[in-house]
Amino acid sequence: MARAVSRNTRIGWTIAAWVVALIIFFPILYTIITSLKSEQEAISGFNLIPSFTLQSYETVQSQNNYFRPFMNSVILAVGSTLLALIVAIPAAWAMAFSPTRRTKDILMWMLSTKMMPAVAVLVPIYLIFLRTGLMDTRIGLTVLLMLINLPIVIWMLYTYFREIPGEILEAARMDGATLRDEILYILTPMAVPGIASTMLLNIILAWNEAFWTIQLTTTNAAPLSAFIASFSSPQGLFWAKLSAASTMAIAPILILGWFSQKQLVRGLTFGAVK
């Protein structure tokens, strides 16, 4: 609303908003600060100015081989997202541009698969993974994460594709474009922003998944979520180390997340709030 607001009121609201925002952000901020402290500093009371040592980061890498879970996270998140896109793009495309009377039902049904609680299928999935040798493999987890997020991916793409006006496709058809031309010159360039947003959100979701990754991995394929969970039983002084590992685990996704605020709303509400 473009309304005249007195400067004092504005400053008042600003202070209130910043205080709330900083309280909410504080745990993350304090973790980043602590990661730059030495272990001794980390436990010697409240202190916002660290000694800026990178010692903890080095320790996490050398003792726990941080690089491996990090790579696993990247492979799982990106891999499952790409896999989901390969399946979802044609499906969302077909439903957006050649809807049938059952399209709505199919979409609702797809959504319903997302409602299935993970524990409901924990037993069979666990046993299947155990018996087929998929346990603790990247490929098994990649496929699983793909299936879990597939409904959201299809839904998001569908809502994006639906925003491409049908008349533009008809215009292309009138202009002599074949289906291939239509896809290559018209639809793809127009759909790319939507696909990119979908990809971004799905990478975030897959990166942060922490039920199946903990259940189905031990060391080989464990991504960061499972790796960090193993810090739950501390040995010795580990506050700074934990903070360093945590900071590295959340930093990439935090930055990606900041860029995807709008898409987040759309993706997580299945287009119900825009």
Partner 1 sequence: MGRITLEGVAKRFGDVEVIPPLNLDIEDGEFVVFVGPSGCGKSTLLRLIAGLEDVSDGRILIDGKDATDESPAKRGLAMVFQSYALYPHMSVRKNIAFPMKMAGMDQAEQDRRIEAAAKALNLTNYLDRKPGQLSGGQRQRVAIGRAIVREPSAFLFDEPLSNLDAALRVGMRLEISELHNRLKTTMIYVTHDQVEAMTMADKIVVLHAGRIEQVGSPLELYLRPKNAFVAAFIGSPKMNLFTGAAAAEYGATTIGVRPEHIAISPTAGKWQGRVGVSEHLGSDSFFYVEDTGLAETITVRSDGEVNMHHGDTVWLTPTEDKIHKFDANGDRIQ
Partner 2 sequence: MATRQTASLARLMRAPAIILLLIWMAVPLAMTLYYSFLNYNLLNPAGTSWAGWFNYQYFYTDPAFFASIWNTLVLVLGVLFITVVGGIAIAILIDKPIFGQGIVRILVISPFFVMPPVAALIWKNMIMHPSYGVFADIAKFFGAAPVDWFAQYPLFSIILIVAWQWLPFATLILLTSLQSLDGEQMEAAEMDGAPAYSRFLYLVLPHMARAITVVILIQTIFLLGIYAEILVTTNGGPGTASTNLTFLIYRAARLNFDIGGAAAGGIIAVILTNIVAVFLMRAVGKNLD
Q: Judged by CB under 8 A, does residue 218 bind partner 2?
A: no
Work out what residue 85 binds among partner 2, partner 1, none; the CB cut-off runs from 5 to 8 Å by kind.
none
Chain positions 129 to 168 lying near partner 2, rule: CB under 8 A, are: 147, 150-151, 154
Work out what residue 48 binds among partner 2, partner 1, none; the CB cut-off runs from 5 to 8 Å by kind.
none
Work out what residue 40 binds among partner 2, partner 1, none; the CB cut-off runs from 5 to 8 Å by kind.
none
Tokens representing residue 160 in the block: 């994006």
Question: Which of 21/171 has CB closer to partner 1?
Answer: 171
Q: Which residue has the tokens 């990649």?
A: 142
Please state, in angstroms and rounded to a whole number, the distance separating the CA atoms of residues 34 and 71.
24
Around 91, how many Cα atoms within 13 Å sit in the side-chain half-sphere?
17
Question: Which of 90/193 has CB closer to partner 1?
Answer: 193
Q: Judged by CB under 8 A, does residue 254 bind partner 2?
A: yes
Size of the site for partner 2 (CB under 8 A): 102
Question: Which of 185/211 has CB closer to partner 2?
Answer: 211
Length of the chain in residues, anyone? Answer: 274
Work out what residue 54 binds among partner 1, partner 2, none; the CB cut-off runs from 5 to 8 Å by kind.
none
- At residue 116, what is the residue type? M
Question: Which of 74/94 has CB closer to partner 2?
Answer: 94
**95 contacts: CB under 8 Å, gap ≥ 6:** 103, 106, 107, 154, 158
Please state, in angstroms and rounded to a whole number, the distance separating the CA atoms of residues 175 and 171.
6
Chain positions 109 to 128 lying near partner 2, rule: CB under 8 A, are: 109-128
Q: Are 216 and 135 in contact (CB under 8 A)?
A: yes
- First vs last C-alpha separation in the chain: 18
Tokens representing residue 68 in the block: 């491996």
Q: Judged by CB under 8 A, does residue 176 bind partner 1?
A: yes
Q: Judged by CB under 8 A, does residue 168 bind partner 1?
A: yes
Burial of 175 (0-12, 13-18, 19+ CB in 10 A): exposed
Identified binder of partner 1 from the candidate list 100, 175, 196, 254, rule CB under 8 A: 175
Binding segment for partner 2 among 50-58, 62-70, 190-198, 247-255 (CB under 8 A)?
247-255
**199 contacts: CB under 8 Å, gap ≥ 6:** 81, 85
Instruction: Kindly list the residues in this chain that would bind partner 1 in the complex (CB under 8 A).
Output: 165, 167-168, 170-178, 181, 185-186, 189-190
